Chains A and B, each alone.
Chain A
């Protein structure tokens, strides 16, 4: 479907990742006239995607961001995508659910904030998503509240998963095959068609060329197109036109060097926790609270790498095949973390080894010759909101002539203590598994916060339904609305928020 620029469509959706794609499909399925604006291209994975990290770097958002604070965060391939499907095209497909207590951190610990919604508000959407995406996982799942069985058996354990299982067993820790949004068998979904089973390439972070991974381009975007959505790739949003009564009447975007203006009745901003607040700040919109850009969070994502006598060949198989949530709550820590086994591609491994250990010259070449014997464990740990961690506009312009985002990130006391605890746990697991040597990569992952949801318009940007407190027809739906980080990978929760926002929007407009 194609709509005219001067046709006031029901909704314009900005971004086609985990935030934009599910609601795009939902609104189109309800018969609404929707236009999706995506900054990047629409790829054909089977033809275009090479099994090559450098060649696939077109999947990453490369407009430069300035990274500051005491623990400056890396962007690009670490967490930021471009193109139809957004960052889900290069996510690892890890989709554990958050647990109910993740939403009530303030009540539980006296610090951070509670979400204005509960686990139970999202649970029906988790149920729906796991079926729609075709999640492969264990049934029953060993942690958290009871849930319906996953639709597919878990993916096979690769060597890093077997090693982590061995180490955890020796320490008396429980493990389980992890839930992954990659198919363990061929799978049919209405409106999407058949997708084939995962081949175990292990190149999830460089894009899946088979369609087994449930990135948004091969799932919700496909459904949205089948239901009549107007998808416009290579359209970069520059501005919003408003009328006198706090209402957006058109979205202005750039495509192939030209500016266009799409009239609309509602806007869903789903550009992620850097570009969403950046667009609002550039347009001085939806920020009466002064909270836009504030409370930027990134999970504690420490990795410990072990070298083993056995052959590991760590690029093979789904990278995160094993999980443990035994450390979801740890005595003496605020919040907790999950543990996952980790496979890795060689360029990513070499790059982070070099940055972290600073080994160089002959010693670097020797260490890399142990690549085939290397396995990782990664954590995802709670990160508390802090007003000082933030996204601002720099005075420096990027290649498009737009002010660059300047991101400030520093760890607080809770995150430092959690990271230290996790580091010791992972070292213990690797030593119990028989590692000959280990090294630690202290890092933070995922971009969260900056347009947080809440009931109090003075302290939040959107309400519990993702609807802007200030602008009558603006919704923000992506990782930027998270009030706290959740000790879990964010993609599944973003998708659940997206479907829920669409349902509330449809209920309100009917």
Chain B
């Protein structure tokens, strides 16, 4: 289906952060996220697994097609190093850290089987092919690859779409609520909300 996709101006979030429409608590969180440097070295993963994860996240969110500097893989490494979780996991999957490590090794095995090289060495189309296998259920995995696909995609999504640069892409200004929202109805925008070009 042909879609008309809105396109929003860049820089809206940074501009709003300089106003009183953002509460101090919110400003602190978003400015820290904007300023966070990409993770140079992993704490939880080894170098190869981390490179594999980074390549996987890049494909899952098309991060190289129009570059947005959000370090999704770094955030996952940071979470696992801290031992944080979200309160539940599928009983059919091992604990999060072990799940990621074994899944990334299995991703390489699937890559090698289908294209003769590790995931990070594959070209764009080959990586897309391997990910689609994982999504649909790849053979030889230590657990259901479809569940892992769901988990890594959801976590990547949460990291990416909580970033101010991603807010700019989708035209989101809901964080600028220090004075609330009076313009609530259908098609009604407050002056501070970004418009599609």
Contacts and interface: CB of A to CB of B under 8 A. Distances in A.
Given A67-B89, A72-B91, A370 B150 contact: no
Interface string A34-65: 00000000000001111111110100111111
Closest 8 CB pairs between A and B?
A199-B180, A76-B87, A315-B174, A68-B91, A75-B88, A350-B161, A201-B177, A66-B91
B169 interface: yes
Contacts of A354: 150, 153-154, 156-157
A372 B29 contact: no
Interface in A143-196: 156-159, 162-163
28 contacts: A50-B26, A50-B29, A51-B23, A51-B25, A51-B174, A51-B177, A72-B91, A159-B188, A200-B180, A200-B182, A202-B177, A313-B193, A315-B172, A317-B181, A346-B172, A346-B174, A349-B161, A350-B158, A354-B154, A358-B149, A358-B150, A360-B61, A360-B131, A369-B5, A369-B169, A369-B170, A372-B171, A437-B1
Given A354-B154, A358-B135, A365-B62, A48 B25 contact: yes
A366 interface: yes
A373 B182 CA distance: 18
Interface of A: 47-55, 57, 60-68, 72-77, 80, 156-159, 162-163, 198-203, 209, 310-313, 315-317, 345-347, 349-351, 353-355, 358, 360-362, 364-366, 368-373, 399, 406, 436-437
Contacts, number: 204
B65 A209 contact: no
B175 to A, nearest CB: 5
Interface of B: 1, 3, 5-7, 22-23, 25-26, 28-30, 59-62, 65, 83-92, 95, 128, 131, 135, 149-150, 153-154, 156-162, 166-167, 169-172, 174-175, 177, 179-189, 193, 196
Contact of B180 (A68, A201, A368, A373): A201
Given A65-B88, A159-B184, A51 B6 contact: no
Nearest to B172: A346
* Main SS at interface, chain A: loop
Contact of B87 (A49, A61, A351, A370): A61
Contacts of B85: 62, 64
Given A62-B86, A373-B6, A68 B181 contact: no
Contact of B162 (A53, A74, A311, A316): A53
B158 A360 contact: no
Most buried by B among A64, A345, A361, A368: A361
Most buried by B among A52, A77, A159: A52
